[in-house]
A and B are shown apart, each in its own frame.
Chain A
Amino acid sequence: MSEKEVKSLEEIFEARIARDEKIEPKDWMPEKYRKTHIRQISQHAHSEIVGMLPEGNWITRAPSLRRKAALLAKVQDEAGHGLYLYAACETLGVSRDELYEQLHTGKAKYSSIFNYPTVTWADMGAIGWLVDGAAIINQVPLCNTSFGPYARAMVRVCKEESFHQRQGYEIMLTLCKGTPEQKEMAQDALNRWWWPSLMMLGPTDAESVHTEQSMKWKLKRKTNDELRQQFIDQTVPQADILGLTIPDPDLKWNEETGHYDFGEIDWDEFWQVVKGHGPCNKERMKARVDAWENGAWVRDAAMAYAEKQEGKKLKDVG
């Protein structure tokens, strides 16, 4: 294709997106659109898969059968969300194996929040309430994104995510109504998860390199700072109901703007964790790679069995 032809195809393509038309896998698309989508969708999928690890840590120690069943169902949902997203990503012509390879070698990123440890049961409450709460804010606009398979996967994910946040908030509520020690545990979890949750919504707009292009492709409909403000505005009153204090001395309702003002985010910490120096980066990747490698013989055996059955069928026919 000549440069001129590509240029005119690009114009038609951008116009389709501007008209809110969806792009499907076999449609022509600019190489940059394909690459950006592979990067974002796979990052999202990896986050779901790695996100199972901090919570998996507490399944065997959940305080009641009710809590255990709910946590198990939530972690299973996350596996499901990862699978929807990997499948959407594969429609762009990348294989599942390549995607795993990128995760396991550290070439692909996942959400930095999952590199923090889950040290008490209250962390299960704080994760559901804050981390899933922030995730929902991020994900709801993606239900309208331009790439069909991604949008469809997000619709399914969003439908399921609401239970995750509610079960987390219920855990917090129960702890806050419990003994002083239990309430203290809930406060401690909020103290540790608050700032990483704010960071989870991404670097500030000034630092975010992909925002402009992503807005055009509807991969983003609001900027990171807008999403963060929305998260803070809706979460602070929820903390009030719990009777917990947000660990930010500068947090204050601003009558003029109709939003909460908040303190400085420690972006050095964020970049440290992104670059692999968070408290649990190594542990998470080791658990993930071990699970994949130790499962290799099962995958091979299942394949060998399937091939043998197929061979038998062919012989019967012959």
Chain B
Amino acid sequence: MTKKNWPLWEVFVRSKNGLEHRHFGSLHAADAEMALENARDVYTRRNEGVSIWVVESKHITASNPEDNGELFEPAQDKVYRHPTFYDLPDEVKHM
């Protein structure tokens, strides 16, 4: 029998209602149900969460740091997207 390792899962935890799920870490599990159970034991032993998402790592598509220039730099010279770009007289209140 060829050796099959448990796949890797990424774990996201909502620490309390009102907050978003945040990446907490990863773990290995045979299937989604086991990934949830393991995530509960590994990442929420001290009331760190009220909700858990698990997703198999291979399903995540990540941007590459090498492309950061073309992805993120174009935003740097678009200062007109920020409110302080616009000159208004001091008399104008609440804006």
Question: A interface vs B, CB < 8 Å?
Answer: 24, 26-28, 73, 76-77, 80, 83-84, 87, 90, 95-97, 152-153, 156, 160, 299-300, 302-303, 305-306, 309-310
CB distance from A114 to the nearest CB of B (A): 21
Cβ of B62 under 8 Å from chain A: yes
Give residues 59-88 of B contacting A (CB, 8 Å): 62, 64-66
Cβ of B50 under 8 Å from chain A: no
B45 engages A76 (CB within 8 Å): yes
B45 engages A77 (CB within 8 Å): yes
A309 engages B27 (CB within 8 Å): no
B42 engages A306 (CB within 8 Å): no
A24 engages B65 (CB within 8 Å): yes
Complex Cα distance, B8 from A73, in Å, reads 25
Contacts of A156 in B (CB 8 A): 25
Complex Cα distance, B39 from A78, in Å, reads 15
A302 engages B25 (CB within 8 Å): no
Main secondary structure of the interface of A (DSSP, over half): helix
B6 engages A300 (CB within 8 Å): no
Q: Out of A73, A87, A97, which one reaches B5, CB within 8 Å?
A: A97
CB distance from A309 to the nearest CB of B (A): 6
Contacts of B30 in A (CB 8 A): 299, 302-303, 305-306
Q: Map CB proximity to A onto B34-67 as digits: 1 under 8 Å, 0 otherwise.
A: 1000000110011000000000000000101110
Q: Out of A76, A84, A299, A300, which one reaches B25, CB within 8 Å?
A: A84
Question: B interface vs A, CB < 8 Å?
Answer: 1, 4-6, 8, 25-28, 30-31, 34, 41-42, 45-46, 62, 64-66
Complex Cα distance, B4 from A299, in Å, reads 9
Q: Out of B1, B26, B34, B62, which one reaches A26, CB within 8 Å?
A: B62
A83 engages B27 (CB within 8 Å): yes
Complex Cα distance, B26 from A95, in Å, reads 13
Contacts of B5 in A (CB 8 A): 95-97
B6 engages A83 (CB within 8 Å): no
Complex Cα distance, B66 from A73, in Å, reads 43
Complex Cα distance, B42 from A27, in Å, reads 27
Contacts of A77 in B (CB 8 A): 45
Between-chain CB contacts (< 8 Å), 24 pairs? A24-B65, A26-B62, A28-B65, A76-B45, A80-B41, A83-B42, A84-B42, A87-B25, A90-B8, A96-B5, A152-B25, A153-B25, A156-B25, A160-B45, A160-B46, A299-B6, A299-B30, A300-B1, A302-B34, A303-B4, A303-B6, A303-B30, A306-B34, A310-B31
